Amino acid sequence: MRSLCVYCGSNSGSKPIYTERAIALGTRLAKDGITLVYGGGNVGLMGVVADSVLAAGGEVVGVIPEQLVNWEVAHKGLTRLEIVGSMHERKARMFDLSDGFVALPGGFGTLDEMFEMLTWRQLGIGDKPCAFFDVDGFYSPLMGMLDRMVAERFLHPDQRDDLWHGDDMDAMLAWMHAYKPAQADKWMDEKRRGAMR
Ligand code: AMP
């Protein structure tokens, strides 16, 4: 694993622990020689992760749409900043550049990006590991929502289990290094399954 994409808040959140854990993750990536790929911003937890990788001597590639550069939220001190035409292009480029995806706490943008990666993987487009790196139980309610999706047969249990959730960085990185994608199906009702036989 040579590069990891980190999705996270363009805000810093309400508690110092969000920033502390973002710094810990960035520092660890640099120490392990893993390049950070991220959204290229200098704001919120995004800026914190990027700065902590750089401060520890690591490499950071930012991928940012032109519109956000015009808003002057692009980080100016990265190893490389790639400017793309749209949010769609950014997602595709970040996917190409990364060997796995980690979500730190964040808002709509963070979830949108992470769930798109999970969706691509479900459709067989991507086969890269996806991890929710939790801080102070932030992602526990979301995991509850995923369990509800399984219980209500909107999400296959194999797909539900094909992601990592927790707050132990060593365990997360070990899981990502050893990752083999599940060969999971989507739910299929009996009628559709019968039609396919
Ligand atoms: P959010 O979780 O809603 O704060 O959005 C964060 C995610 O959306 C990041 O992973 C970025 O890829 C993208 N994003 C949102 N706001 C910005 C910004 N001001 N600068 C760069 N990227 C952003």
In the prediction, which pLDDT does 124 show?
A: 86
- Please give the angle made by the CA atoms of 148, 153 and 155, to the nearest 5 degrees: 75
In the prediction, which pLDDT does 154 show?
A: 96
From 173, 193, 178, 133, select the one nearest 34 (Cα to Cα). 173
Ligand 1 contacts CB of residue 109 (under 6 A): yes
In the prediction, which pLDDT does 126 show?
A: 83
Ligand 1 contacts CB of residue 41 (under 6 A): yes
CA of 53 to the centre of ligand 1 (A): 18
Dihedrals phi, psi of 189, to nearest 5 degrees: -75, 165
In the prediction, which pLDDT does 184 show?
A: 61
In the prediction, which pLDDT does 189 show?
A: 55
- Hey, is 33 helix, strand or coil? coil
**Cα gap 37→174, rounded to integer Å:** 19
In the prediction, which pLDDT does 195 show?
A: 56
Choosing from 10, 61, 69 the residue with most ligand 1 atoms within 8 A of its CB, the one to mutate for a pocket test is: 10
Q: Per-residue confidence of the chain (197 residues) as pLDDT tens digits? A: 999 999 999 999 999 999 999 999 999 999 999 999 999 999 999 999 999 999 999 999 999 999 998 887 899 999 999 999 999 999 999 999 999 999 999 999 999 999 999 999 988 888 899 999 999 999 999 999 999 999 999 999 999 999 999 999 999 999 999 998 776 665 555 555 555 55
Ligand 1 contacts CB of residue 105 (under 6 A): no
Q: Could you tell me the domains of the chain?
A: 3-196 (3.40.50.450)
Residue nearest to ligand 1 atom 7, measured at CA: 109
Ligand 1 contacts CB of residue 10 (under 6 A): yes
- The residue assigned the tokens 């520890």 is 56
Ligand 1 contacts CB of residue 47 (under 6 A): no
In the prediction, which pLDDT does 160 show?
A: 95
Q: What is the pLDDT of residues 143-172, one digit of tens each?
A: 999 999 999 999 999 999 999 999 999 999
Residue nearest to ligand 1 atom 5, measured at CA: 109
- Which string of DSSP letters, residue by residue, matches 34-73? PEEEE--B-SHHHHHHHHHHHHTT--EEEEEEHHHHHTT-
Residue nearest to ligand 1 atom 10, measured at CA: 7
Are the C-beta atoms of residues 19 and 48 closer than 8 Å to each other?
A: yes
